[in-house]
A and B are shown apart, each in its own frame.
Chain A
Amino acid sequence: MSRISTALSAPFAPVRAYFRKHRSFGIFVGVALLSIALPLLTRVPPFDGIQSTNAWVNAFTTAAIYAMLAMGLNVVIGFAGLLDLGYAAFFALGGYTYAFVASPFTGVHLPFWPMLLAGGVVGAIFGVLLGAPTLRLRGDYLAIVTLGFGEIVPITLMNADKFTDGVNGIGGIDKPSIPGILQFTLTNPWPMYGLVIALFALIMIMIYRLQDSRIGRTWDAIREDELAAESSGVNVVIAKLQAFAVGASIAGIVGVVNAAKITIVTPDQFRFAVSISVLAAVVLGGMGNTIGVATGAFVIYLFQSILLKQLNTLVENFNIPVLNQIDFLDFQYVLYGIVLVLMMLKRPQGIFPARRRMREFAPLKIGKRGLK
């Protein structure tokens, strides 16, 4: 088997070697190819029978948004090893930030593009605010505090009626536009698809670069052994806050995009279930592996939003009275549970386990100055 696979992959070796060296370009090309291939795939059976291409593209957009959230959460959990159960809070803060400055509710209409950055900054600030008091906590204790934070944010947004319109949320949020060229609309999913895909590639490139930098190594170090990291000169406080800030700012940016996409934010969109499904995606995809968790999240979203719906129609065709009464969408979380338990038993490292990047061997040359 392995010989066959080696033989099959042999012609691609130079390509792979090239992309290993130029990874950012490789990610860009890969995401671009996939983003073209996916809509094309929806034109062929059996996918074309399920829903229109526009509906598919819309679903891909939302799936990519989930995938970005998973990549962001993976920085906190997979890289730095800090269990964060309140990740949806940062998603909410990003969304509400954009809603405040670009909706009829406040009457302010700022342009979309700089607000992407603002969402990131707001996320980072709250990430640090959550991170600072919890620095000494580990594992379960940290999980409980972040869980609390994740609940506080939507509940506050719900109860601050005067400023957020409570449970109704803020509607009529501005769609992005490129003045004079392109106006994003609710009926045409393609511009938003393009924006989300571009952002997806950008975030993935940024995360990979951070992971390979000295900052990424400090995250690895504190995840592996905090005391040893300190004794290697790593400032644990800064490293943890950086991880929280990076993860939260990604959620903030994605929150802005999400608010602009569906044009309404309500506290209900950001409940605990969101944090949990993103976490499930991270665990399923393989903690610490950026591409793995992104793929995991993408597939999980498509699975739950399309396949489960399809299951209902499929079962109706069989016309078995007992099964007809079951709405499979209600069993989403049961399925999550079963899949997670199976994963923990059979493949605890995730579908795509994180692998250390092997460094090409460069022949050793001791410099003139030697080791000093």
Chain B
Amino acid sequence: MLRARGVTRKFGGLIAVNSVDFEIPRGSISAIIGPNGAGKTTFFNVIAGIYAPTAGTIELDGKPLISPPTGAGREPILLILPTIPFIALAIYSLLVVGGDTGLVEGVASVAAALLGFVGALLLNIIRPAWYNRLIKRIGVTRPARPNDMVVAGLARTFQNIRLYKSLTTLENILVGMHVHMHGSFLGALFKSRLVREEEAAAEQRARELLAFVDLAGMENELAKNLPYGKQRLLEIARAIASRPKLLLLDEPAAGMNPRETEEMTALIRRIRDELGITILLIEHDMRVVMGISDHITVLDHGEKIAEGLPKAIRTNPKVIEAYLGRGAAAGH
């Protein structure tokens, strides 16, 4: 379903991720593991659209999703292009027509050129979809943004929980549903029927999602007042709210006690089985990884050193060496 080809990400001279090929089958629970500094989170952030890859591509369902940005040098042309006719007109009026009429026409043309420039700049900043398609024609690809990834069907959680702290749990989920709501600005002002129905349906679904992660009855609690474990659950519920095809979990069991970890594992399974969402997770806790993953990829120093079933990974000498050092691997 998700396929990465030769994904590389450099930070200056440091190669955080080096030419990683990677594939997630639909409906699976996959894990990326590796020692500290192996490039797991960087790879994760490339998939989530936070970092653009230096090289390599990522496809979702066979469609290209992420590729390195190209043609950035050509973009200024687009800013200047709409001003050229007006500048020509200004030169013509000032030099050829001349006199008072020429001056007025010239000033007007310069003003028009300025307006054209401002318009192009606004398009450049706002980036509507048609503008992106247009610039693709002349060979400019912009780096993907995280919100584009959500629209494409990816959702994520963060290693250090990032909730909307002073919103209620219900509102946190409602924000997560944002991409699937279509109420317009005017619709909101006049409370059109579409908006009212959409809001009611969204609220109903948000309550269902809260019940799904076992947070029923806490709809009006502020997110910051929830205990740590429940905040994690809420963050996962918020991610599911965007109806992703693929859910990216960054260390979902970090800082949890054994019982909570067990509950988390069960929840991850239920997300896959009941909601049909494919899952990719980064995790340090080996019990979690070995317990639920169908497929494990091991990164070390930015490179993929092993992949396969949990059983095979557990006995893979390269993996043991990466985690415990050469001596341990030899002794095994």
Contacts and interface: CB of A to CB of B under 8 A. Distances in A.
The CB with the most chain B CB atoms within 10 A, among A132, A217, A227, A231, is that of: A231
B127 A237 contact: yes
Interface stretch (B86-94, B130-138, B182-190): B182-190
Contacts of B179: 233
A218 B175 contact: yes
Interface stretch (B9-17, B75-83, B215-223, B323-331): B215-223
A215 interface: yes
Nearest to A237: B126
B270 to A, nearest CB: 11
Interface stretch (A297-305, A328-336, A360-368): A360-368
B191 interface: yes
Interface string A197-216: 00000000010011011111
A216 B167 CA distance: 12
The CB with the most chain A CB atoms within 10 A, among B171, B179, B209, is that of: B171
Given A228-B158, A233-B178, A209 B171 contact: no
Contact of B188 (A215, A364, A370): A215
A371 interface: yes
A129 B119 CA distance: 10
A210 B150 contact: no
A255 B155 CA distance: 44
A331 to B, nearest CB: 36
B145 A356 contact: no
Contacts of A212: 188, 199
B220 A214 contact: no
Contacts of B156: 231
Given A132-B126, A210-B188, A356-B166, A234 B147 contact: yes
Nearest to A236: B147
B147 A359 contact: no
A232 B209 contact: no
A364 B212 contact: no
B178 A218 contact: yes
B122 interface: yes
B126 A214 contact: no
A358 interface: yes
Interface string A242-257: 1000000000000000
Interface residues of B, number: 58
A228 B163 CA distance: 7
A224 B167 CA distance: 8
Interface in B196-247: 199, 203-205, 207-209, 211-212, 216, 219-220, 222, 238-239, 242-243
Contacts of B219: 359, 361
A232 B150 contact: yes
B203 A232 contact: no
Given A359-B219, A361-B219, A233 B164 contact: no
B168 interface: yes
A233 B147 contact: yes
The CB with the most chain A CB atoms within 10 A, among B164, B181, B199, is that of: B164
Interface string B265-283: 0000000001110000000
Given A225-B162, A225-B164, A359-B220, A234 B178 contact: yes
A230 interface: yes
A231 B118 contact: no
A123 to B, nearest CB: 15
B121 interface: yes
Interface string A287-321: 00000000000000000000000000000000000
B242 A232 contact: yes
A368 B162 CA distance: 32
Contacts of B158: 228, 231
A104 B146 CA distance: 53
B106 interface: no
Contacts of B199: 212-214
A117 interface: no
B127 A217 contact: no
A371 B270 CA distance: 12
The CB with the most chain B CB atoms within 10 A, among A128, A133, A213, A238, is that of: A213
B195 A213 contact: yes
A371 B212 contact: yes
B24 interface: no
A362 B124 CA distance: 45
A9 interface: no
A75 interface: no
A367 B209 CA distance: 12
B121 A224 contact: no
B164 A220 contact: yes
The CB with the most chain A CB atoms within 10 A, among B127, B176, B238, is that of: B176
Nearest to B167: A220
A365 B216 CA distance: 12
A133 B146 CA distance: 20
Contacts of B212: 371
Contacts of B183: 213-215
B175 A372 contact: no
A206 B147 CA distance: 27
Contacts of A128: 122
Nearest to A216: B188
A155 B201 CA distance: 51
A122 to B, nearest CB: 15
Contact of A230 (B121, B147, B168): B147
Interface in B140-173: 145-147, 150-151, 155-156, 158, 162-168, 170-171
A235 interface: yes
B122 A132 contact: yes
22 contacts: A132-B121, A135-B125, A209-B188, A212-B188, A212-B199, A214-B178, A215-B183, A220-B167, A221-B164, A227-B146, A231-B48, A231-B150, A231-B156, A232-B178, A233-B151, A233-B178, A242-B185, A356-B168, A356-B220, A358-B168, A371-B208, A372-B276
Interface of A: 24, 128-129, 132-133, 135, 206, 209-210, 212-218, 220-221, 224-225, 227-238, 241-242, 356, 358-359, 361-362, 364-367, 370-372
Given A218-B175, A221-B175, A229-B175, 12 more contacts: A217-B174, A227-B146, A228-B158, A228-B162, A233-B147, A234-B175, A241-B126, A242-B185, A356-B220, A358-B220, A362-B204, A371-B205
